[in-house]
Amino acid sequence: MRKWLVVWLAAFVVVAAGSPLLAHHTLTTEYDMSAVTSVVGTVTEIDWRPPHVLVHLAENGGTSNAASWVLETRAPSILKGRKMEQDTVKVGTLIHANVYVAKNGDHKAWVKTIVLPDGTMLLLY
């Protein structure tokens, strides 16, 4: 009886650990990874939660005719290892981002790098 319990528990752990990997999308299906585009704008919001941190950006420094962008990055735990903490990029900061834009033409992009006003470059991809 104990042997079967251990087998079932081990099987459950393997399936539970692997399911996020199966559900995760590849970047090449959503983003054009063949060309890097530059976007400059003011951070309007940051969603710092799994599975990916989202940086909302108003292009053209927040002017009335600015395009709104959603810049997708890696998971919070990975960003911390790349010197990006929750307070590294603040709302209202003007940033320069090198991104891979969405294939469907939306103002959505995957971030490669962010350059802060003081010249600090965050390598996020």
Q: What is the mean pLDDT of residues 64-79?
A: 88
Tokens 């393997």 label which residue?
14
- Structural domains of the chain, with CATH: 27-123 (2.40.50.140)
13 contacts: CB under 8 Å, gap ≥ 6? none
The residue count for the chain = 125
Q: What is the pTM of this model?
A: 0.76
Cis peptide before 76 (omega within 30 of 0): no
Work out the burial of residue 46: count CB atoms within 10 Å of its CB; fewer than 13 is exposed, 13-18 middle, 19 or more buried: buried
Average pLDDT, integer, range 18-33: 70
Give the mean model confidence (pLDDT) for residues 80-105. Answer: 93
Check residue 15 and give its pLDDT: 53
Q: How far apart are CA 117 and CA 75, in angstroms?
A: 23
pLDDT value at 19 more than 90: no
Question: Average pLDDT for residues 84-88, to the nearest whole number?
Answer: 90
